[in-house]
Structures are given as C-alpha cells and as structure tokens.
Amino acid sequence: MVTPCVMHLTQGPRYFAHHGRWVQHLGCETKMENHQPEECPLCKEGQLLDRIERMSFHQYTNRGYVFCRVVIPMKICDRCGARSWDDRADAGMDDAVRREYEKLR
C-alpha cells in the first residue's frame, strides 16, 4: 500500500475541478489536530478528516492566466475520497490569485 506522503512520488498528479478552478493535488496530507470527524455527506459511510494539502492551480484573469500554489485545509472522506474545502481555503486561494495578478502589471 502506498502511504499518502509518497503518493506524489509514485503516482501521477490528480486534477479535479472546484469553483471553476482546475486544481492539482501536489503532495502530503497532514492530519489536523483537535477535530472530531464528520460523516461524509456523499457516501454516508466514511468520515471527513481534516487535512492540510499543497495545491497548484491556474486561474484566468483579465490580464491572462496566473499560476498559483497554496497550502489549504481540506476535508477528505476516508472511505470514498470526496474532497471539499471551506471559506478559509477559498480566501487563501483568492489571496494567491491576487498576489500573482499583481505581478502581471
């Protein structure tokens, strides 16, 4: 079995869409402390575990595409693998887009 911290070395990148952004999973998942797992709303059998993940994505702006890398908190189902993130993660991604956008001037 491949552990999550070496998956990025042994498997190709995984892409998924979220809020109009194509996102690439880049690396290790680290469990967040002091959190009670929630039930997965998709499969109803797994538990949503908080993870910190590095992500990269492209975002189109009126000045062209920007490439961003962020570290965000995510919730991942331990049974079906469903992924989601909250407003804190969206804010981090928006900040990354804003920083890269300013570099295009």
pLDDT average, residue stretch 17-30: 47
Cβ atoms of residues 43 and 19 within 8 Å: no
Q: What span, in angstroms and rounded, lies between the C-alpha atoms of 102 and 105?
A: 6
* The total number of structural domains that make up the chain: 1
- The whole-number average pLDDT for the span 9-36 is 48
Please determine, for residue 31, whether its predicted confidence score (pLDDT) is greater than 60: no
Please write the tens of the pLDDT for every residue from 8-22.
444 444 444 444 444
Question: What pTM was estimated for this model as a whole?
Answer: 0.60
For residue 46, the enclosing domain spans 4-103
Q: What is the mean pLDDT of the chain?
A: 76
Average pLDDT for 68-79: 92
Predicted pLDDT at 4? 47
Helix (H, G, I), strand (E, B) or coil at 28: coil
pLDDT of residue 57: 93
So what's the pLDDT on residue 1?
Answer: 39
